[in-house]
Amino acid sequence: MNAERRPRIGVLALQGAVREHVAAIREVGAEPVEVRLPRDLVDLDALILPGGESTTMRHLIDAYNLREPIAAMARAGTPLLGTCAGMILLANRIADGDEPVFGLLDLEVRRNGYGRQLDSFEADLDAPSLGEAPLHGVFIRAPMVSATGPDVEILARDPDGRPVAVRQGRVLATAFHPELTGDRRIHRLVAEMVEGARRPA
């Protein structure tokens, strides 16, 4: 791999907040790549699973034969970020009874745990590992984390103390939409994870 080139960070572009993630990736100095087919995953350094409707995204991932190629990327150590519905796709337990899609994060989530569209809200989040300033979160039909495993690092909590940003190895997820604010700490962390993945073990 050419360590001099800009990281190529893919955004699953089947549904959801794709354009905003693409803009955020550019702002942190990486090259965005919209992913619709397995061939779009070639030579990516990281992948973002954006917000949207998780059941629809699950069906589209299978319709376009993306499940196994994305799982293979994760097995190879490629950094992944899931936001909102993307967090549901990455969790290994879904409280509503749905089967997990990728099962890469040891946590239980509840779909629409913060309420429906009318219950959308914004909040300042305690995120000490990401800096002193609060992380502003936009929650839209957001999943709620109801349990985390011992290997899951909690990066941010909501005002009631519930986890809303987590990391396990090179897999990162947020219940909120970091792409909808001007704060690029989450996307910058993905770029930093790419650099960490490039370094020899």
Query: Catalytic residue among 108, 179, 192, 195, which?
Result: 179
Active site residue 53: no
Per the annotation, the verdict on 136 as an active-site residue is: no
Closest-CA residue to 143 (of 25, 55, 20): 55
* Number of neighbouring beta carbons within 10 Å of residue 98: 15
* Integer Cα distance of 52 and 32 in angstroms: 19
Instruction: Look at residue 8 and give its three-state secondary structure.
Output: strand
Question: Which tokens belong to 51?
Answer: 């917000």
Please identify which of the residues 177, 187, 192, 195 carries the catalytic annotation: 177
With CA atoms as reference, report the closest residue to 2 among 35, 42, 45, 32: 45
DSSP secondary structure, 112-174, as one string: TTT-SGGG-EEEEEB-GGG-SSPEEEEESS--EEEEE-TTPEEEEE-TTS-EEEEEETTEEEE
Residue 156 to residue 147: CA distance in whole angstroms: 14
100: exposed, middle or buried (Cβ count in 10 Å: 0-12, 13-18, 19+): middle
- Per the residue annotation, which of 20, 84, 99, 195 is the catalytic one? 84
User: Active-site residues: which are they?
Assistant: 84, 177, 179
